[in-house]
Amino acid sequence: MQLYDPTGDQGLLNLWGKLFTLAHALDAARTGQVQTAWLALQAVLDLAPEAEIAWRYQPAWTAAAGGWQNQIAATAQELLMRYIQEKNLPRPSLRQALQILIDDLRAGGYYVASSNRSIQVQADPANQGDTAIAITDRGNLGWPVMLLPETLTGQIEDGRLLLAGQTRRQPTDADWPGGSELTLAVSPATASRSLLENADFESVQDGAPAGWLVHTGQVGQTIQLTQPEQQTITITGSPTGGYWVLCWTDPAGRQWETGAIAHDASASAIQSALRAIPGLEAVLVEGTNPFTVTLEGTPGDINQLTAIHRLSGGANPQVQIATSQQGDPASYRGRSLRLVGDGSEQTLLWQTIRPATATVYGLLARARRSASATGTLRLELRRGVEDGVLLDGAGEQNRIEVNIASLPSSGHGVISGFFRLRPEEELPITFALHVSTPLPAGESLSVDEIILTQAQRLYPGGPYLAAASGYLPAEGDRFTITLANDYAGQWEKVLDRFLGLRQLTDLALPSTGTTLIPDSLLE
C-alpha cells in the first residue's frame, strides 16, 4: 500500500479519506436538519451499507452513531497497521506507527493544509500585581500541539495560579473537540527557581554579576550593575526615652508601619522592624546613629521612609531621614544588569546550564530601556559560546529575539519565550545573552530576573505554560487565556480526533512540502 495515490484511490491517505468522510456524514446526520432517525440512518447507509449490521445491535440512534465512530477509529488504525506491515516491518504500537507515518510524509515531501491558531493571554484591568504568564502552542519536540478552542480562566489564590477550562467532548461526539475541562494549579516561578545561576543579578563578583561570564563587553563600562537605594536615619537631640516608628508606602500604594522602635535601638533592631514589612524583607541596616539603610530587593524608584516619633528627654529629639544614594529607576528589583551601548559593541554574557532534553522551558524576564535605546537582544541556547544556535526537533532555533525599541522606557516590560532541546542533544550547553545589534552610544538596556524554568503542560497533547511571580503582590488577580483553533486543516482534525496523533506522539502533520494532500479527500 502506498502512502498517497494522487491519481487513484488506493493509498493509505485515500482510504482514510473515504473512511473519515463517513465520519463527517455521521456528524452531519446527528447535527443537521434530519427529521427522523430512519432518514439519518439512510444518510449513513448510502455511504456504508455494511453499517446496517451495526444498526441492528444498537438500541438507539445516538448510541449507534457513537459506536460507528469508534469502529471508524478502529478501522483507521488497522489500515495504518496494514501500511506498516506491507513495508515488511513488525506490527508496531499505535504510537510507533504514527511516528513512522509522519517520517514517511516528511521524507516524501507530503504536506497538508494547516489550521488558523492563536493564543492570547490577558490580565484583568483591575489586577494589582505583575505576575507574568506565557503560553506556547509547540510541544517538547517543537511541533504544533493540539490546541483546543476554548477560553481558560485563571486566578491567583494562595500564591498559585488556578486555571479552569471549558467542557470537554469525546471523539465520538459530533461537536468534538470542545474544551479541556482543565483544572490545574501552577506555582509561578521565582528567580531562585531559575535554571540560570544568579538570575536576579544580586550576587556581585569583581564588579560583574557572579555566575555570568563575559565574552564581549567591558565590566564597569558597557556591562554594569545598578545599585539599590540607600537612606540614612539620624536621631538628633540625644533622647533618653520613648520610641519611634518608620513608615513606608510600597509600589502598590499601600502604607505600612513598623512596630515601636526604642529610642536607643541598635541597627539590627531597626533592621528587624523594617524586614517585618512586606517588600522590605531583604533590607540591610548598618552603623550607629546615623544608620544606613540599604534597600536591597526593592525597585529602584522606591519611596523614601518617613518617621513618627514619641521620643522624650534630651534637647528636642527628632528622627531625620535622607536619601544618600538614589536608586536607579531602571532596576526592577534590587540590582539589575545594565548594558550600556558604545555604538558598536555586540555585548555577550553567558553561562553553562544543564536543562533536560525533549522538555519545554519557559523564559520570563523583566526589562526596561533608556528613552532612545534601539537594537536587538537575543537570548539563545548554544553548544558553546562561539557556536551557532541549537535547533529543536522541528528544526527551529532556540532563540528569543527582542526588538529593544519595543520595550518600555517607563516601567518594566516582560520578555518571554520558550526553548526545547532535541532528545539526542549532548549536555551541558550554553545560555547566551547577546546584544546582536549594538545599542547606540550612551543608551542602555536593563534586564532583571531572567527566570528559565520548566514549563507545565496543560493537558495531554496540548500547550505549555510558564508563569513567574513579580514584585507587586498579585493575590486575587485574574487572567483569561483564549486559545483559538478553527481546525481549517481537516487532516489535522481527523488525525487528532480518531488516532490521537498529538496526544500520543507530540508530532504534527507536515504543513510544508512539495505535494499537498488535499482536504477534498475528506469531503
Query: How many Å apart are CA 268 and CA 231, to the nearest integer?
Result: 16
pLDDT digits (tens, 9 = 90+) for 412-470: 999 999 999 999 999 999 999 999 999 999 999 999 999 999 999 999 999 999 999 99
pLDDT of residue 58: 43
Query: How many Å apart are CA 150 and CA 358, to the nearest integer?
Result: 27
Question: Domains along the chain?
Answer: 12-114+489-522 (no CATH), 117-188+479-485 (no CATH), 191-224+332-456 (2.60.120.260), 228-325 (2.60.40)
Query: How many Å apart are CA 58 and CA 38, to the nearest integer?
Result: 13
pLDDT digits (tens, 9 = 90+) for 2-55: 999 988 888 999 999 999 998 888 887 766 554 445 455 555 556 555 555 544
395-419 mean pLDDT: 97
pLDDT of residue 59: 46
pLDDT of residue 53: 53
pLDDT digits (tens, 9 = 90+) for 468-486: 999 998 999 999 999 999 9
Angle between helix 490-499 and helix 12-31 axes, rounded to 10 deg:
90
Q: What is the percent of the chain with per-residue pLDDT over 90, rounded to a whole number?
A: 84
pLDDT of residue 34: 44
pLDDT digits (tens, 9 = 90+) for 253-305: 899 999 999 999 999 999 999 999 999 999 999 999 999 999 999 999 899 99
pLDDT digits (tens, 9 = 90+) for 489-519: 999 999 999 999 999 999 999 999 999 999 9
Angle between helix 12-31 and helix 37-45 axes, rounded to 10 deg:
170
Residue located via cell numbers 475528506: 522
pTM for the model stands at 0.89
Angle between helix 12-31 and helix 61-85 axes, rounded to 10 deg:
170
Residue 372, C-beta contacts closer than 8 angstroms, at least 6 positions apart = 440, 443
b/e per residue 315-344 (b: at least 16 CB within 10 A) = eebebebeeeeebbbbbbbbbbbbbbbbee
Question: For residues 269 and 250, is the Cβ–Cβ distance under 8 A?
Answer: no
362-371 mean pLDDT: 98
Query: How many Å apart are CA 164 and CA 146, to the nearest integer?
Result: 17
Reduce the DSSP state of residue 56 to 3 states and report it.
helix
pLDDT of residue 175: 85
Query: How many Å apart are CA 130 and CA 333, to the nearest integer?
Result: 12
